[in-house]
Amino acid sequence: MGLVNDRHEVVEKAEGLTCRGEGPAAVIGRMGRMARELLHKAGNPPISCAGLGCPGVLDREAGAVIYSNNIRWQQVYVCRELKEQLKVPVYVENDANCAAMGEYLAGAGRGSRQMIMVTFGTGIGGGIIFDGRLYLGSHGNANIIGHTLIEKGGRECTCKRKGCWECYASTRALLLSAEKAGVFNGMDEPELNGRLFFEVLKAGQEAALRVFDEYTDYVAEGIADLINIFDPERIVIGGGVSAQGERFLGPVREKVKQKVYFKEMETAQIVCSLLANDAAIIGAANLSAQKYGQNDLSF
C-alpha cells in the first residue's frame, strides 16, 4: 500500500500480509486501518481517490471482485466498503494490470508505446498496454496469459485445463520441477523458494542446471507466442525471477529469438521490471486517477 503523487512517485508506503483463511470483511477492515495510519504518518494530506489491485475476475463498474481463487473471494463489493472507510472514490483493477501500468509510467516500460508485462509467481499474470491504455478486451477479462496452452494434455492446472503456460513457467512450477529432480535433496531448509534455487544454480549443481534450461525454454515459448500475436515494442518481466537479471534474461532472450516467427527481424526488447512492488501501487493509483479525473495524491 502506498501514497502516490502526480509525478508517479510513491511518497509513503506500508506493507501487510493477506492470509487466505481470512474473510473479506477482515481484510478490507485492515486495509482501511492501514490506509488511515499511512495518511496520519504522512501528515494527513488530502487525497483524491484510491486504487486497488486484486487478482481474479472483476466487475470494474460495480467495484466488485466476482471471483478470485488466490484469495478466495466471491461477489465482494470491495470498492463500496473501502469508500465508506476512506471517504474517497475507489477503483479496482487486476493486480497484474496495475503493475503493468506502473512500469509503463515510471519503470522499465517508460518511453515505449506498446508494452506487455509478464509477472512470474505462484501463477503467471500479464498486462498489455497500447499507446498508454490497458487492453482489457470486449468483456474486461483479457490478459489471462498464464492460461494459454503450451502442452496439450500436459500438467493439470487450477483452471482444470491441462498444459497451461503457468503449469510450466511459473515460479511454483520451477520449484516443483526442481524438487522432483532432486535439486534440494539433503537440504534442511524451512521453505523451498526461488532464492534458494538460484543459489544452488549459481553453485553449478547439474540437476539445477538441467531444470533451469528446461524452465527458460518454457518461459521463452510463452513469450515468443506473445511477440508473434502482439508484436510489442517491449516486454517487461516481473516477479521474483526478475531479481536474477541477466542470469535469467540472457538464456530467455536467446531462446525467444529461435522461437519467434520472424527470426531475422528486430523483435521486442525483453527487460526486467525496475519498480518491484511499487509498480502495482503506482499503477493502481494512476488508473483510479484516470477513472475519476483527479491529479492529486492518491493511494
The per-residue pLDDT for range 136-156, each reduced to its tens digit, is 999 888 889 999 999 999 999
Same fold, 2-94+277-292 and 108-272: yes
> pLDDT averaged over the chain?
91
CA 197 – CA 177 distance, rounded (Å): 11
Pick the CATH number of 108-272 from 1.10.150.110, 3.40.30.10, 3.40.50.12780, 3.30.420.40: 3.30.420.40
What single-letter amino acid sits at 174?
Answer: L
Domain 2-94+277-292 has CATH 3.40.50.800: no
CA 154 – CA 208 distance, rounded (Å): 22
Domain parsing of the chain, residue ranges: 2-94+277-292, 108-272
The per-residue pLDDT for range 163-206, each reduced to its tens digit, is 999 999 999 999 999 999 999 998 877 678 888 999 999 999 99
Q: Which residues contact 198 (CB under 8 A, 6 or more apart)?
A: 244, 247
**Model-level pTM?**
0.88
Contact 125, 146 (CB under 8 A): yes
Q: Residue 237 belongs to what H/E stretch?
A: strand 234-239
Q: What is the pLDDT of residue 159?
A: 87
The per-residue pLDDT for range 238-256, each reduced to its tens digit, is 998 999 999 999 999 999 9
Q: Residue 3 belongs to what H/E stretch?
A: strand 2-4
Contact 32, 73 (CB under 8 A): no
